[in-house]
Amino acid sequence: MDEFDTSELDKIRAEVSESQMKQKTCITICGGTGCHAYGCLKVAEAFKEEIKRQNLQNKVDVRTTGCHGFCERGPIVVIQPEGIFYQRIQLNDIKEVISETIINKKILDRLLYIDPRTEEKIVYEKDVPFYKKQERIIFGNNGFIDPTDIKDYIALDGFKALVKVLFDMTSEEVIDEIKASGLRGRGGAGFPTGKKWEICRKENSEKKYIICNADEGDPGAYMDRSLLEGNPCCVIEGMIIGAYAIGASQGFIYVRMEYPLAVKNVTLAIEQAKKLGLLGKSILGSEFQFDIHIFKGAGAFVSGEETSLMASIEGRRAFPRQRPPFPAQEGLWGKPTNINNVETWANVPLIINKGAEWYSQIGTKKSKGTKIFSLVGKINNTGLVEVPMGIKLKEIIYDIGGGIKDNKKFKAVQTGGPSGGCIPADKLDLPIDFDTLTKAGSMMGSGGMIVVDEDTCMVDIARYFLEFSQEESCGKCVPCRVGTKQLVEILTHITRGEGVEEDIKKLKDLAKSVKEGSLCGLGQTAPNPVLTTIRYFRDEYEAHIKEKSCPALVCKDLIVYNIEPEKCVGCLLCLKSCPVGAITGERKKVHIINQELCIKCGVCFEVCPPKVAAVSKYTGKKRDRILKKDLKQRVKE
């Protein structure tokens, strides 16, 4: 549209609010990627059909929203305004939800969440333990907004911050507000956002760029994807404000092609913003112009590093380059460029609307605001959690996460993605912020949080993450290309029982060389899993090396599966399940595992009846005795 009055935004807000008042009941259905896998779209369509069948269109609205965070409980349905929380909804539940809960105001107990610790059935979303200790200032609107309709975002004060910035603030005042808030980048390094903007603002150039880094490649992390899927407009508004502050006229959202729903929703949001005059020339009738383009990455992990990302946008191979000059000085096509990640941009409208003082009251002295974590692994409640900086690990894992699955013991949590470190059980009182995690040998990273239990081998987990980093290394610099490969080789030897006592020192020395000599942040942080596991779990390394034993019974070369003669009832389950025919025996007679043929797949262990438990795993000296006995038996035969 050619002309635009800011009152048009108020008109949209009034229209949406009036419509929502008429339709007092709203059934919101989680529409994140996780719930898509559970069939949320079919559930939403079935709700609409049932409402139409019962002629309730004027009383009940159905809205497919973004991710609600509690991913393993999908499809999630929350009935507003009461906030009734139903989980794992199936198609055959829908008719009863409408007739009983919507019409007769009765709660369906079977659809409620049951707290595994208290066995209490919980009716309201706000009372679910997973949500109670969260502070969802960014992620909370995901549960209310239809990400395909910009009007939903506008109704919740969307673009008010942009209006304030364009007509009541100078670019310097915007930067000062961001600096005063204490906002630090949520992409990993935690660099002060306002300072980065100020550096870029002061650069003398007729052309400047801003970039939203949505190349989220950490194993188990999906915070940025869910924000783009569920509330793309908050990111877009933050980018427009950032562009105004530094004087940029063009922006890019660099998002992975593997995130089709995020690409779809952010593309739609940009198109709708342009139609409303919120992007393009003369934004909201002002003299400011700015546009956003989407760039779909091919999935290389190194593209998350900012200089590699810029090379990719320019059409070159995603290789990092030396700094300085920093992107804020000389970035995309040699021009000053400001890069922040999805979550950082999403914070900006909140700070402008509510003020730096409000924002700086959340969190710790040096780490302000909240952080969204992807809580996954051996934990009861997996999903996305938004918590204030400074919250203790124990609160996230036990109060929000519901503790460890199957009543196992907590062993460690790996924070910060593959380049993060493993924090042990005696550090559960550790507050979560940028500086404390760094001192502990880990990092905030983009927000991945992988919980492991007592059945996890810490040497093996270090090998796993190093192997990922080694495979994803761009290969440009020798320390990363060669050093990570050598680290993986040493760790592999140790997990196979081929390690020697000098290997621990070699690992530490080599890790130090990789950290100090690598060109970019990915190589510099790649050794963290090795260094922290040696620091906190050195006894496991020594057991693998000195005793040729894996205390967690994970490393295949250091364990054997053995059938206990006094327990075996000859049920044939293990024999029938063995994929390589390593088990012999007759019905109701003791079975035997041929250790030479056994591939350590563990199927026999899994299928052995729990009340019998005749198949056992052994390591160390007991393993050696079993192997010798098996060898003697085969020689005798």
Diameter over CA atoms, the chain: 94
With bands split at pLDDT 50, 70 and 90, how would you rate the model's confidence at 384? very high
Residue with tokens 């790996």: 414
Q: Is 260 helix (H, G, I), strand (E, B) or coil?
A: helix
Can you identify the CATH homologous superfamily of domain 14-127? Glutaredoxin (3.40.30.10)
Please give the structure tokens belonging to residue 597: 């043929």
Up-side HSE of residue 409: CA atoms within 13 Å toward CB? 8
Task: Kindly tell me if the per-residue pLDDT of 512 is higher than 90.
Answer: yes
Residue 378 makes CB contacts below 8 A (sequence gap 6+) with: 404, 405, 408, 451, 452, 453, 455, 456
Task: Specify the CATH number of the domain 150-360.
Answer: 3.40.50.11540
C-alpha 81, offset from chain centre: 29
The DSSP bridge partners found for residue 426 are none
The reported pLDDT for the residue numbered 1 is 37
pLDDT of res. 188? 75
What are the residue ranges spanned by the domains of the chain? 14-127, 150-360, 370-453, 458-546, 558-636
User: Does pLDDT of 142 surpass 90?
Assistant: yes
Report the mean per-residue pLDDT for the chain. Answer: 93
**Is the previous residue joined to 75 through a cis bond, with omega within 30 degrees of 0?**
yes
Q: Spell out the residues 6+ positions from residue 636 whose beta carbon is closer than 8 angstroms to its own.
A: none
pLDDT of residue 570: 95
* Contact call for residues 369 and 183 (beta carbons, < 8 A): yes
Average pLDDT value for residue range 167-190: 94
* Distance, CA of 42 to CA of 46 (rounded, Å): 6
- pLDDT band with cut points at 50, 70 and 90 for residue 610: confident
Rg (CA), the chain: 28
Instruction: Characterize 150-171 residue by residue with b for buried, 16 or more Cβ atoms within 10 angstroms of its Cβ, and e for exposed.
Output: bbbbbbbebbbbbbebbeebeb
pLDDT at 3 over 50: no
* 139 vs 637, higher pLDDT: 139
Mean pLDDT (whole number) for 578-604? 95
Phi/psi at 371 (nearest 5 deg)? -140, 135
CATH architecture assignment, domain 370-453 = Roll (3.10)
The tens digit of pLDDT for each residue in 15-70 reads 776 666 566 799 999 999 989 999 999 999 999 999 999 999 989 999 999 999 99
Please give the Cα distance from 527 to 435 (Å, whole number).
18
Residue 431's pLDDT is 94
- What pLDDT does residue 17 have? 67
Average pLDDT over residues 110-118: 90
What does residue 78 show for φ and ψ, rounded to 5 degrees? -120, 125
Task: For residues 21 and 298, give the distance between their C-alpha atoms in angstroms, rounded to a whole number.
Answer: 44
pLDDT at 373: 95
pLDDT at 2 over 60: no
Q: Give the pLDDT confidence score for residue 22 in this predicted structure.
A: 60
The mean pLDDT value for 285-303 works out to 92
CATH of segment(s) 558-636: 3.30.70.20
Contact in structure between 90 and 47 (CB atoms under 8 Å): no
C-alpha–C-alpha distance, residues 325 and 265, integer Å: 35
Where residue 336 falls among pLDDT bands split at 50, 70, 90? very high
Answer yes or no: same fold for 14-127 and 150-360: no
Q: How far apart are CA 288 and CA 281, in angstroms?
A: 7
The pLDDT value recorded for residue 507 is 97
**213 phi and psi angles, rounded to 5 deg:** -85, 100
The CATH T-level fold of domain 458-546 is de novo design (two linked rop proteins) (1.20.1440)
